[in-house]
Amino acid sequence: MKKVKGIHHISAIVGDINENIKFYQDILGLRLVKQTLNFDDSAVYHLYFSNEQVNPGFLLTFFPWQHATHGRKGGGQIGRIAFRVPKGYLKEWEHYLFAKGIETTRSQLFGQDTLEFSDPHSLDLAIVETDVEHETRAIYDFHGVAILSENPTATKSLLTNDLGLLKVGPHLFKTDSPLAQHIIVNESPLPKGRWGTGTVHHLAWSVPSQTELLAWQDYFFEQQFAITEVKDRKYFKSIYLQEKGNVIFEFATVDPGLEVDESFDKLGQTLQIPPHFEIDRDNILTQIEPITARINKYSSSNRQLLSKKEAIDGTSI
């Protein structure tokens, strides 16, 4: 049986683009690694965040819609997104977020200590402490997500029987790989949600090659799932599947990657317009909302916030 090895990216809908950058870059310490546009709508940005080193499989992307209505969380969506931090730093994150005015809640959401909170646009987030040791508190990967399914029985079946995840609890699954990313599925069917700010649009699974992507496409076609044609997203090729719980899964190739139009140290510094929109560049630039937030430059030492020189009360020492 074929198995997915881990997450490629997660894409969510938020509001103001500058608030989005300030929160994920300046509060959570992530690196903006790509400014581009929604491939299907040139009026909407598509921002990619990762950690400083841009770990494979750790891309959190956003579609900022300045005047969009708030979404309604519900069936057919991805719910809470959980990040990983190194061993011993969960309490320091709790103090740090409190000092920044961000309300947090402790839980056992993933069967271990979890710190739950939300971003300025009501997107549900969490931090989970791992056994990995590191000298900084920086977020470095996805721990997993909570899935909100209209048909949890069917969604669970897809995860285990089609995607090869391991069932480790009644509603908890993990990828059968060294990443061991965790997926929670709700127990009872949920009413359908509504897209808008504060909701996750889809989760993409990582696929090592286009050959394997086509194999997944053939497999789902044979299983009579509704599967799309291969999409060229410039940084990866992908297919989309809406499973029987109405959650959207994408399958995305590792290559060619983010460096097809920017060098590693310049990632995220300038707007990269998708090729099919280039002919309308001048018009697009006059219509999209300007980015006024400061964009941090690459730092090989990960000198962003949460270094050991920052006190847990949020002040520099």
pLDDT, tens only, 156-202: 999 999 999 999 999 999 999 888 999 999 999 999 999 999 999 99
Whether the Cβ atoms of residue 33 and residue 235 lie closer than 8 Å to each other: no
Question: Would you say residue 33 lies in a domain?
Answer: yes
CATH of the domain at 105: 3.10.180.10
d(CA 147, CA 12): 14
305, part of any domain: no
Structural domain range at position 206:
7-287
**The predicted structure's pLDDT at residue 309:** 35
311 in a structural domain: no
Coil, helix or strand at residue 146 = strand
Beta bridge partners of 77: 148
- Pairing mode, if any, of strands 271-272 and 31-38? parallel
Q: Is the peptide bond before 275 cis (omega within 30 degrees of 0)?
A: no
Q: Is residue 281 part of a domain?
A: yes
Supply the pTM of this predicted model.
0.94
Residue pLDDT, tens place only, 262-282: 999 999 999 999 999 999 999
pLDDT at 300: 67
**pLDDT digit string (tens) for 87-141?**
999 999 999 999 999 999 999 999 999 999 999 999 999 999 998 888 889 999 9
Split into its structural domains, the chain has a count of 1
Residue 304 placed within a domain: no
Q: What is residue 308's predicted lDDT score, i.e. its pLDDT?
A: 40
Lowest mean pLDDT across 118-122, 147-151, 243-247, 309-313: 309-313
- Does 304 score more than 70 pLDDT? no
Band of residue 2 on the pLDDT scale cut at 50, 70, 90: confident
Question: Mean pLDDT, the chain, as a whole number?
Answer: 93
Angle subtended at Cα 252 by Cα 250 and Cα 257, rounded to the nearest 5 degrees: 145
- The structure tokens listed for 246 are 């109405």
Q: Which two tokens stand for residue 119?
A: 């971003």
